[in-house]
Structure 1
Amino acid sequence: MPELPEVETVRRGLSPAMEGAFVRQVELRRPDLRFPLPRDFVARLEGRRVLGLARRAKYLLIDLDDGTTVIAHLGMSGSFRVEANDAATTPGDFHRERSKDEKHDHVVIHLDRPGDGGSVRVIYNDPRRFGFMDLALRNEIDDYPAFRTLGPEPVGNALDADYLATRFAGKVQPLKTALLDQSVIAGLGNIYVCEALWRSHLAPQRAAATLVTPGGRPKKELVVLTDAIRAVIADAIAAGGSSLRDHIQTDGTLGYFQHSFRVYDREGEPCLTPGCGGTVGRIVQGGRSTFYCRACQK
């Protein structure tokens, strides 16, 4: 499933085509994706102007001029394709190329851009149909069921060591599991948790509470971990994302952050920490693979 940097890359890739454009027509080629599409989906989009695109955790938000927001989730295999002037691009950065088979084109949004007089088609393609689209009012977006319990974004100012100390205090839960809890940090996924723990030299099995003082203050290790989380997400966004399933960028080139993985998916290879000499191992936590160095992550 695409993680936060991949969705942010998709947002940035779609913005130039969609922002400021008018929705001339919407084609629904099936009534459902993972869930049924809203019955008034077409009526509420057609004739509206796209004000902007945003992101919350791993969700893409498309804001319209009447206060409506389209909420889109890519699921396992979803992608958007932009077609204009006989050229097609797929915003996002996926390790393997996304589907362009038209039989999996489920939603087609026809847009007119008044400034340059051009028109584009934004096409949602999803072979597995694990993604979905829904509608909500922008001023009520925080009450949307998927967003009610989400924690702060890993790229925002709300995420700091003091905040994490309040969430980790008294928790015997392993660090890896605690960091994957979306109510603690929104949008932080398996790849980037492994990478952040490696950068901060912390063992994924370590109890979260061990990073907090008896008085509830963050230890230095928690400050280092917080900085590592923010840095690895920023690096991945700058590189265009790193999903292992298919995203490609708007210009069609594959992203390369996956080639910068320091620990993820490197089982049996030497640890890249200078002077470590350890070997990357793999364990399973909560049904997900965890990659870490037993020698330098304590």
Structure 2
Amino acid sequence: MPELPEVETVRRGLAPVLVGKRVASLEARRPDLRFPFPDNFAKRVAGQSVVGLERRAKYLIASLSGGEDLVMHLGMTGRFTIMHEGQADTPGHYAYGVGPDPTHDHVVFHLSGGTRVVYNDPRRFGFMVMMARAERLQHPLFRELGAEPLGEELTADYLAAKAMSRKVNLKAFLMDQHVIAGLGNIYVSEALFQAGLSPNRAARSLADRRGAPTDRAIRLVPAIRDVLERAIEAGGSTLRDYRHADGRRGEFQERFGVYDRAGSACHTAGCGGEIRRAVHSGRATFYCPRCQR
């Protein structure tokens, strides 16, 4: 599943092509993806201009000139391909090493000027929904999301307030989308490693008895931001099936401190520890038991 840096890379690849352009027509070549397409989907999008392209958590949000938002989720294998004058660029190329099979081209945006943006999704775990922009914050997809990890809302005080009454470990706490929106498995492991915190530590250790943030919370916030910013700069992580805007591999996996490195030596100078793999809430966790406390 793509995480925040991969989705943000997709957004940055699509924005120059979509924003300010009119959708001349839309083809929906099947009735659904994970969910049915919106009622009158093609008619509601056709003729609209894309006035903005945002990311919230792992969702892409295309704001349309008529006042509606088109919300898109890539699922596990969703990808967009930009077709222009016989050239194809792929912002968010899933199935690394394998080109998109056109039989899985499910949605085609025909833009003014002749450019096409094609959504391809072999497993069809992605989805597209529409909602009035004024109602977005109250929509079930968005109303309970936590802080954006790259936004101003994520502070040590915020983490302490969320954590002080929790009885889960740090890994489960940080994976909770009601706490931090868009932070996923890879980058939780990497942020905890950078902050020197064990995934097994109790989440409530981020707050003291008065509810004030501890040093652990103070260290964790910049670690989360730094890991995500470096991953976005690297174009995300290519494990089995992610590529970024021009079809090249994301490179952040070459900079992992712990993720998928079980049995390897810790990179921390002077540590001498060995990376371990554990399972938290059904997800693989990687950490160094020596320098993460």
TM-score, normalisation: structure 2: 0.97
Select which of 248, 252, 258 maps to 2:243: 248
Distance 1:95 1:70 in 2: 25
Distance 1:98 1:147 in 2: 33
**Aligned position for 1:115:** none
Distance 2:141 2:6 in 1: 19
Distance 1:282 1:137 in 2: 44
Distance 1:106 1:252 in 2: 20
**Is 1:236 paired with 2:231?**
yes
Q: Which amino acid aligns with 1:282?
A: R
Distance 2:145 2:94 in 1: 25
**Aligned position for 1:60:** 60
Which whole-Å deviations, capped at 9, do the CAs of 1:30-88 have from their partners, x for residues lacking one? 00000110121111100111111001100000011011110000001001110001000
Q: Secondary structure at the match of 2:43?
A: helix
**Aligned position for 2:13:** 13
Distance 1:213 1:224 in 2: 15
Q: Secondary structure at the match of 1:214?
A: coil
Once the two structures are TM-superposed, the CA of residue 297 in structure 1 deviates from its matched residue by: 0.8
The change in CA–CA distance for 1:90 and 1:98 in structure 2 (over 3 A counts) is farther
Superposition RMSD on alpha carbons, in Å?
A: 1.2
221-230 or 89-98, larger mean C-alpha shift = 89-98
For structure 2, the 5+ residue unaligned runs are: none
Select which of 146, 149, 157 maps to 2:152: 157
The change in CA–CA distance for 1:154 and 1:54 in structure 2 (over 3 A counts) is same
**Aligned position for 2:48:** 48
Aligned length: 293
Whether contact under 8 Å (2:79, 2:93) holds in the other structure is no
**Aligned position for 2:189:** 194
Q: Secondary structure at the match of 2:183?
A: coil
Whether contact under 8 Å (1:95, 1:255) holds in the other structure is no
Whether contact under 8 Å (1:57, 1:187) holds in the other structure is yes
Q: Secondary structure at the match of 1:240?
A: coil
Q: Which amino acid aligns with 1:84?
A: H
Q: Secondary structure at the match of 1:83?
A: strand
Once the two structures are TM-superposed, the CA of residue 252 in structure 1 deviates from its matched residue by: 2.2
The higher relative CO (CA closer than 8 Å, separation ≥ 6) is in 1
Whether contact under 8 Å (1:95, 1:246) holds in the other structure is yes
Distance 1:141 1:204 in 2: 34
Distance 1:72 1:193 in 2: 23
Q: Where in structure 2 are the equivalents of 1:214-229 lying within 5 Å?
A: 214-229=209-224
**Is 1:121 paired with 2:116?**
yes
Once the two structures are TM-superposed, the CA of residue 251 in structure 1 deviates from its matched residue by: 2.1
Distance 1:244 1:3 in 2: 12
**Is 1:146 paired with 2:141?**
yes
Whether contact under 8 Å (2:238, 2:249) holds in the other structure is no
Whether contact under 8 Å (1:13, 1:250) holds in the other structure is yes
Whether contact under 8 Å (2:94, 2:242) holds in the other structure is yes
Whether contact under 8 Å (1:173, 1:207) holds in the other structure is yes
Once the two structures are TM-superposed, the CA of residue 93 in structure 1 deviates from its matched residue by: 6.0
The change in CA–CA distance for 1:97 and 1:136 in structure 2 (over 3 A counts) is farther
Distance 2:176 2:254 in 1: 26
Distance 2:204 2:212 in 1: 11
Whether contact under 8 Å (2:78, 2:94) holds in the other structure is no
For structure 1, the 5+ residue unaligned runs are: 113-117
Q: Secondary structure at the match of 2:114?
A: strand
Q: Secondary structure at the match of 1:119?
A: coil
Whether contact under 8 Å (2:234, 2:252) holds in the other structure is yes
Once the two structures are TM-superposed, the CA of residue 170 in structure 1 deviates from its matched residue by: 2.6
Distance 1:151 1:66 in 2: 28
**Is 1:82 paired with 2:82?**
yes
Which of structure 1's runs of 4+ aligned residues deviate more than 4 A? none
Distance 1:269 1:95 in 2: 27
Share of identical aligned residues, percent?
A: 53
Once the two structures are TM-superposed, the CA of residue 95 in structure 1 deviates from its matched residue by: 7.6
